[in-house]
Amino acid sequence: MNKTTLICKSEYITMPDGVRLAVSTWLAEDDTKNIDKRPAVVMTTRYWRANAFQNDKPKFQGFYPSASYFFAHGYVLVVADARGSGASFGCREAEMSPREVDDIGDFINWVAQQDWCDGRVATTGTSYLASTSLYSLVTAPTALKLAVCRAPDFDGYRHLLAPGGIVNLWFLQVWGETTTAQDNNDVSALFAGDYWPVPESGADNLLGVRPVDNDTGGVLLASAIEEHKANFNLTGKEETLTFIDNLLYDHHRVLFDPIYQEKVEQSHIPMIIRCGWHDAGTQLGALSMFASFNCPMRVILGPWNHGGEFRADPFQIGDGNVAEAIPWYEVRALTVNSLDLIFKQNNAANHDEFINKEFGIIEYYTLGENRWKTTKQWPLPHTQMQRFYLAPEQQLSTFAPSSERGCDHYQVDPTTGTGLNNRWHAQTAAKPILFPDREEDDKKLLVYDTPPLEQDTEITGHSVVHLLVRSDACDGQFFAYLETIDPDGRVRLLTEGQLRALHRKVSDEIPPFRMFGPYHSLKEKDAEPLMPGEVAEIAFDLLPISVLLKKGQCIRLAIAGADKDTFAPITDCETPEITIERNSVYASYLDLPII
């Protein structure tokens, strides 16, 4: 592999409204002017495109390994600070505001016109940078040929900030504090939140965001930071997120907004979306987008954490407290292979035929079987929903209840949780997802088990839970965990879902995009407080999974009313007593997508 040393060339580019964005281009140290023309790989971030160091070396930069790997394979990496962040000017009315989206297109056009660029551009990135990659398809400049991304947030409210209408307090606090520290260029506050990774050169070496090259005195950087003081931030906004129609969307247009969706579909630019089965709700977003958008898309769902640095697999060898690391070059190779698919294809004359062959596909990994599979349709066409009824003695039964009586009482335990390495905490940088034995945790929950399986059983798709409940409170949280029990008693978490009782109404409106379970609008107009003592239906889908369970294992449905490690409790409804009905009049059940 080419070991060319790269340098980070930083400069300002001016947007049509006069706002200047800081941009860093990674070029060969020995020749930044006469380089062979190459395609560009573009990223737009709000997490600092480059760092300023006391002891400054290119290899200390967080993007240096990626830039070097891309360059060795024929691509130049260019990273921009989004407006109102890093060293860029402007302020942020919201995350991914319409103006920020427009900036991406202008940035791509600027890159395509550089002397070293052959006029072709791809966007890429992980997490926020993955979302900006998808939004680049809205702008669809002529130079843009492909978007390759890992773990974007298709619906930030439903899939991350408040899944099921339950506020992800942990993320709001940590992410809000982190972005505030970065927007203020406050390094000490950045590390105090224990979210941002310490650079290899040490925390003391980091001075902050990198100014552009000609800002030797830092005057321009100081002016940009001053403008950031007007930025919108999520810190302390949890009370505003009870409903989806809130301030979050005042200055933000979602990707599935009809205007944006039409632009993405009309662009016909291919996209590749890679997500982990256990990475927040990113996999659900990718599948919803695949099923909703009419454009060339390839979705890849595998056993990865948020950034792809660790294997995330409930069946991984060991006690579940240590994750297998994935070599960095394997992570980057997946992106380069995707870029090569478009930029190095030899059959350009039959481009449309090539796109039809390579896209419109979902590649998915079946856990427990350790096998990759492909499909052009989701849910899988041969899915059969198997119903398991909640039954006496904490059992799951395939037989409907025959008695008119039958229920289980549960006092919600506010100390229950899923730990600090769950799918939601995986949104932090390079943090593994762990799967420790949940036997002890489940003693605090209400659980229902099947007998040992008589044959190997594949579950692929979206499970749905229907609970008929009574409560002594006017609101509450319902968490459902799909688990498996090994013959030796070890309990493994497979997937989960949740719903706030206030949002239980199943809407008869057309959902904004394809959903795979009961549609809850999560809007204020559809809110329905519980009537204490009266039966209410709580129905919701679990996050998708593909898993092969072996003969002798049991399936478990575990029900909780809190997750102290991640989600905000509901004031005055922290410890309700609930009754789950399981009789012929009010039958509660779990539907599993069996293959």
Which amino acid is located at 441 in the chain? D
194 token code pair: 């224990």
Residue type, 133: S
Tokens 């630019």, residue? 269
Give the containing element (helix H, strand E) for 547: strand 545-549
The rounded distance, in Å, linking the Cα atoms of 408 and 581 is 7
- Helix 64-72 / helix 328-343 crossing angle, nearest 10 deg: 40
Residues β-bridged to residue 273 = 149, 299
Q: Between β-strands 554-560 and 457-461, what pairing exists: parallel, antiparallel or unpaired?
A: unpaired
Is-contact 424 171, C-beta < 8 A? yes
Closest alpha carbon to 458 in 365, 594, 278: 594
Site of tokens 């478990």:
556
* Cα distances (Å, whole numbers) of residue 318 to 64, 279, 310, 499, 553: 34, 21, 15, 32, 18
CA–CA separation, 449 and 132 (whole Å): 43
Q: 387 near 590, Cβ under 8 Å? A: yes
Strand-pairing partners, residue 276, are 302
Give buried/exposed letters for 161-199 (b at 16+ CB in 10 A, else e): bbbbbbbbbbbbbbbbbbbbbbbebebeebbebebbeee
Over 395-451, what HEC string results?
Answer: EEECCCCCCCCCEEEEECCCCCCCCCCCCCHHHCCCCCCCCCCCHHHHCCCEEEECC
CB atoms within 10 A of CB 471: 25
The residues, any chain, with a CB within 8 Å of residue 563's CB and separated by 6 or more, are 416, 417, 418, 477, 479, 498
Which helix (H) or strand (E) covers residue 469, if one does? strand 464-471
Contact status, residue 497 vs residue 465, Cβ threshold 8 Å: yes
Helix (H) or strand (E) holding 296: none
Helix or strand holding residue 577 (H, E): strand 577-581
Which residues are tagged catalytic? 127, 279, 306
